[in-house]
Structure 1
Amino acid sequence: MSHSLSKDIFKAYDIRGVVGKTLTLDAARLIGQALGSLAREQGVAALVVGRDGRLSGPDLSRSLSDGIRAAGVDVIDVGRVATPMLYFAAYELGTLSGVMVTGSHNPPEYNGFKMMMAGGTLSGDEIQALLRRIETGELATGDGGYREQDISAAYLDRITGDIKLARPMNVVIDCGNGVAGAFAPTLYRRLGCKVRELFCEVDGNFPNHHPDPAKPENLQDVTVALAKTDAEIGLAFDGDGDRLGVVTKEGNIIWPDRQLMLFAADVLERNPGAQVIYDVKSTRLLAPWIRDNGGVPVMCRTGHSFIKAKIKETGALMAGEMSGHVFFKERWYGFDDGLYAGARLLEILSRVEDPSALLNALPNAVSTPELNIKLSAEGENHALIERLQQSARFDGAEEVITLDGLRVEYQDGFGLARASNTTPVIVLRFEADNADALERIKANFRQVLAAVTDAELPF
């Protein structure tokens, strides 16, 4: 028997849609059964299931679990957790497989599934294969078991057993009413911090600001709290707790590629010669920094599933991407975890008297935030980037990297245009040694883009 459902929800890194419209309870059950069928083929007997703080989480989680069990696979339900806690449970409980019901940083009406199977993160073709399996009705049947397990104590114990602060820290944490709010205050207090909480009540309506630390406007409340209080550093988390935002005492945002400099220097001190992975959106100052600190820089495509695959392939001890996902293989499991990354950051900062001075001193360049060209149709962004890769010429470019879109390196900066894997958008980013160079690079890209699209350019 074959089934039909919205194809648009099957994205590059996860499954995601509008609850009740493109992502229904029936769809969740079918996806569960497809995952259960895949699990059986791979010899996986149980899947861990967790959910974030979204209002639709309990119902979707139930339907997903029913589907998994209908395929003859057991469900271990870890309840309401941050995404990294689901990954932790998959390792600790020995399944190496699980599904997180999360809408990450999307608006409240969205939800979705991040999926891990036999130690690997499902992405790309593997996610499309789930859709084909549902459409053709190739679904196993059986009667899987169900049990609930609380893993929060084990998770907090594991981190507090690993991280030791040199002195008590005084921090502001902003959880944006995302699920990290249920765990972050406890974690940082246990590490010996004085914690000032902002929006740590889990509320799927996100009444205060959107839980996405990649956008400067969502860090305003942290900035104000740092200015008004004696707190020395600010940490902010996204909706499902796998990304970290950092703000200094005087309100400077330390973007994730600069956070990675500090983390890399720390890891390389203990592991000279180790590889450090970063994505194509990251600063050009990162590779020389990694080399100067005795490491080997490795550029990778953007996307948490691609980074995890690259960690597996290379044996790298550390990775990070511009969106705020940070991956520690040294002392940790190699998955992205905003709460753990925050703890590692405080461990480093607690060794100095002035944490903001240490962060502000990291190499910096003149840059734009992530800019988006919105296109009308799904897939249009990929077609446009392919056309550019074949025909575009960039004046004065030293190198054009086509690993993920076009990253054009100049002597004094770089420009990036790549297709988003989640929405019909072209993602742009520019960086240079000075403002004049930045404008020149932007003008070069403006000219090239205007030749292939009449979409409005955001720069």
Structure 2
Amino acid sequence: RRIADGRLQRADAPGGLQQREVIADYVQRIADDVQLDRPLKVVADAGNGVAGAVAPQLLEAIGAEVIPLYCEVDGQFPNHHPDPSEPHNLEDLVQMVRRFDADLGVAFDGDGDRLGVVTRDGRIVFADRLLMLFAADVLARNPGAMVIYDVKCTGRLSDYILRNGGSPMMWKTGHSLIKARMRETDAELAGEMSGHFFFKERWYGFDDGLYAAARLLEILAQREEDPSEVFDELPDAVSTPELKVAVAEGTQHAQVALVVAAAQAEDSPFAAARISTIDGLRADFSDGWGLVRASNTTPVLVLRFEADDADALERIKGLFREQLQRVLPAGTELNF
């Protein structure tokens, strides 16, 4: 509008343009800080996203043996969509890790700010369990530090952070919301179930999947055990991945508000649960929890469930299914 109206400001002096190759500086900055105590063989799947232009040389610079997978940058994404939070996008990575007997596999999203991990035996390590490893490492040098995680993360995470001398805080999903909360609380570390990790300790507080991969390999290389054994030591539970229920455009927030209101009623089946409404409805029971929240970007409801055993998981899923059936239009497919 200002251009159309001719309301443009002129600088006192002409500006300048400087071009600089930053990849070498970026790799050197990380390699100066992170070096592996022992070599690890890693398959790196960039899904043809931009991380492929950097990830192999970065991981090699810190001491890893790298087997690149789909590291040719191609915006058509001919092999699979570069989203490591979707298990089916990790199938080729699992096969390559097994084929080359690698220690683990790492995957990045299209713009390189998220990280996914698979083990030698083909298991996906969810981001909330990766955050446990990161938290223990950061807290060893920063006792009492705050660690932030989003509402989709495991119920085991809070106790794990406390046992390692930290201060846990659950917060809303969304990388911009997490970063803002980090600034407000001066937290040293944060993470999301989607694979965003934010390190303030030794880094700059923004989400960088490549840097997170380097920090993960650093931790694993300090241990004598196989990486799969390190992950096996972390607290675990029966859980679902992130589930999505499609709804009409623009209705997701209103529908979640109805579920929240019903759950807070005196006769609600959620009466025995500890309720959090910071982002949708999260109900924590003595033997598990469930979550429903509205996506900030697409017309879907996002759900996740976790419990001590399969029976408890099905019971909690049933409670949420019943509540959703009451508020969603007839015929809405509930895929859980």
Please report the TM-score for the alignment, with normalisation by the length of structure 2: 0.93
Report what 1:260 is aligned to. 131
Distance 1:325 1:383 in 2: 27
Report what 2:299 is aligned to. 424
Distance 1:434 1:172 in 2: 33
Distance 1:138 1:304 in 2: 37
1:44-55 superposed matches below 5 A: none
1:57-206 superposed matches below 5 A: 141-142=9-10, 145-206=16-77
Letter in 2 for 1:208: N
1:239 matched to 2:110:
yes
Report what 1:36 is aligned to. none
Deviation at 1:376, TM superposition (A): 1.8
Report what 2:335 is aligned to. 458
Letter in 1 for 2:130: Q
1:438 matched to 2:310:
no
Deviations 1:328-354 (A, max 9, x none): 000000000000000000000011231
Report what 1:20 is aligned to. none
1:278 matched to 2:149:
yes
Distance 2:6 2:126 in 1: 45
Deviations 1:298-352 (A, max 9, x none): 1110000010011101111000000000000000000000000000000000112
Aligned partner (choices 386, 409, 419) of residue 257 of structure 2 = 386
Aligned partner (choices 273, 289, 297) of residue 398 of structure 1 = 273
Report what 2:192 is aligned to. 321
1:374 matched to 2:213:
no
Deviates more, 1:419-428 or 1:396-405: 396-405
Distance 1:339 1:347 in 2: 12
CA contact (8 A) 1:396 1:410 kept: no
Deviations 1:158-202 (A, max 9, x none): 100110210111111100000000000010111111111100000
Query: 1:445 aligns to what SS in structure 2?
Result: helix
Query: 2:290 aligns to what SS in structure 1?
Result: strand
Distance 1:389 1:142 in 2: 53
Deviation at 1:389, TM superposition (A): 1.9
| Runs of 4+ with deviation above 6 angstroms | none
Distance 1:170 1:424 in 2: 40
Letter in 1 for 2:289: F
Distance 1:138 1:440 in 2: 64
Query: 2:36 aligns to what SS in structure 1?
Result: coil
Deviation at 1:141, TM superposition (A): 4.5
What root-mean-square deviation, in Å, do the aligned CA atoms of Structure 1 and Structure 2 show? 1.7
Distance 1:321 1:138 in 2: 45
Report what 1:342 is aligned to. 213
Letter in 2 for 1:458: N
Query: 2:107 aligns to what SS in structure 1?
Result: strand
CA contact (8 A) 1:385 1:405 kept: yes
Report what 2:81 is aligned to. 210
Letter in 2 for 1:456: E
Deviations 1:252-298 (A, max 9, x none): 11110000000000001111111100000000000000000000001
Distance 1:401 1:197 in 2: 42
Aligned partner (choices 228, 233, 238) of residue 99 of structure 2 = 228
Deviation at 1:412, TM superposition (A): 0.5
CA contact (8 A) 1:397 1:408 kept: no
Deviation at 1:386, TM superposition (A): 1.5
CA contact (8 A) 2:270 2:283 kept: no
Distance 1:185 1:154 in 2: 15
Aligned partner (choices 355, 358, 369) of residue 230 of structure 2 = 358
Q: 1:395 to 1:245 in 2, by over 3 A?
A: same
1:249 matched to 2:125:
no
Report what 1:410 is aligned to. 285
Unaligned runs of 5+ in 2: none
Please report the TM-score for the alignment, with normalisation by the length of structure 1: 0.69
Query: 1:147 aligns to what SS in structure 2?
Result: coil
Unaligned runs of 5+ in 1: 3-69, 71-133
Query: 2:78 aligns to what SS in structure 1?
Result: coil
Letter in 1 for 2:244: N
Deviation at 1:360, TM superposition (A): 2.1
